[in-house]
Structure 1
Amino acid sequence: MKKTTVCINNSILQNSPLDDISTEQLWNAAQIHIVKQGDFLLRAGQTCQHIWLLEKGACRAFYDHHTREINTAFFFESDFITNMKSLRNQDPSGYHLQANTRSVLLRWHKDTLAGLYKLSPAIAAFGRERLELLAIAGETHADWLKTHTPEERYQYILQHQPELIQRVSITQLSSYIGISRETLSRIRRRVL
């Protein structure tokens, strides 16, 4: 657990409102969750009960559309993962959360977090900030799909999110960009 805490402290706690006591309370309440590639954190139709923090590995959010998977988000080290709408409203999830690789995560049950939020205003502020960032990322991706051409989207990923090119299959990347695999291959040939 010490290695996990050190890794997380270095990456996400630098500008957080957490003091040492709140940090220790938060990490002590977490469960270590190890999943294999292809394991689901959450399936469509299930109600989300957890928030995860990815320490090592990669995960994705996707939904099934007829016979295709549509990827809407990718998560890497130090990213928080949840389905906010399902977690908050206790509605069935409309999409899946799945491990893209063997992954090590910290996991908090929603009831555990609710107790921590009551115990520590600093943890509540930290949690609220992280959930807001997740919501902003989702909204940004939706806007990005509406306002940029496929080639502009691919150029953006090359410049600002190169880990997607390195860590995500071309099939998953093409659905994330909102195009077919064949169209992405043509764009890649033109760009390279």
Structure 2
Amino acid sequence: MKKTTLTFEASVLQNAQLDSISKEMLFNAAQTQVVKQGDYLLTEGQICQHIWLVEKGACRAFYDNNHKEINTAFFFEQAFITNMKSLRNNEPSLYHLQAIEATTLLRWRKEELTALYQQSSAIAAYGTAQLEQLAITSEAHADWLKVLNPEERYEYILQHQPQLVQRVSITQLSSYIGISRETLSRIRRRVL
């Protein structure tokens, strides 16, 4: 097996119940992609053709609502990224995926993953589990936006996703929480 990256070792090799051949097949199918802060992995209207794993750096998912960016997800080291609906249904993306830091990723093309899924049921099961985790994370965000008040949302972030406070701009964080930048500033002063 080739020398692996730390993220691949930590997120795939350690956590996946894959035999050594399946692990090697999955790793060999990956390409390294390096992007600068502000570069797009996917833009609205494009059809998603990849699944990415963040090796180093950070990315976000967002859409434009009347010239206002609404952030819906953030991805850090060891996180998988894709637009599942676009990837699966071969339809245009409704949102953007963008690097918010200089980022190194591992990238798998849809066709290569499909072939791997056919060759290894263990890889197919692992891929399904990762996509389910993306869906669960997205659903959890939608749920707490509905049931928590703004201060409770910020406290949730502090407890469960502190890297957001450390690595995401206050403007991006406020849209993710579903409040104005000014409201978030007031909440931060009260909470701290």
Establish whether TM, by shorter chain, passes 0.5: yes
Does the Cα contact within 8 Å between 2:16 and 2:126 map onto a contact in 1? yes
Map of 1:119-134 to 2, 5 A cutoff?
A: 119-134=119-134
Does the Cα contact within 8 Å between 1:38 and 1:101 map onto a contact in 2? yes
Q: Are positions 1:52 and 2:48 aligned together?
A: no
Mapped to 2, the partners of 1:53 and 1:17 lie a distance apart of: 18
Does the Cα contact within 8 Å between 1:17 and 1:125 map onto a contact in 2? no
2:9 is matched with: 9
Moved more, 8-17 or 108-117: 8-17
Q: Root-mean-square deviation (CA), in Å?
A: 1.0
Unmatched tracts of structure 2, length 5 or more: none
Number of residue-to-residue matches in the alignment: 191
1:27 is matched with: 27
1:96 is matched with: 96
1:180 is matched with: 180
Mapped to 2, the partners of 1:127 and 1:15 lie a distance apart of: 12
Mapped to 1, the partners of 2:10 and 2:43 lie a distance apart of: 31
Q: Which ranges of 4 or more aligned residues in structure 1 deviate by more than 6 Å?
A: none
**C-alpha deviations, 1:139-187, integer Å up to 9, x for none?**
1111110010000000011111110000000000000000000000000
Shift of 1:3: 4.5
Does the Cα contact within 8 Å between 2:7 and 2:77 map onto a contact in 1? no
1:143 is matched with: 143
Counterpart residue type for residue 3 of structure 2: K
Mapped to 1, the partners of 2:128 and 2:140 lie a distance apart of: 18
Counterpart residue type for residue 2 of structure 1: K
Mapped to 2, the partners of 1:115 and 1:102 lie a distance apart of: 31
Does the Cα contact within 8 Å between 2:174 and 2:184 map onto a contact in 1? yes
**C-alpha deviations, 1:55-81, integer Å up to 9, x for none?**
000000000011210000000000000
Does the Cα contact within 8 Å between 1:51 and 1:107 map onto a contact in 2? yes
Mapped to 1, the partners of 2:10 and 2:31 lie a distance apart of: 19
Q: Are positions 1:107 and 2:121 aligned together?
A: no
2:169 is matched with: 169
1:154 is matched with: 154
Query: What secondary structure is seen at the aligned counterpart in 1 of 2:15?
Result: coil
Counterpart residue type for residue 53 of structure 1: L
Identity %: 70
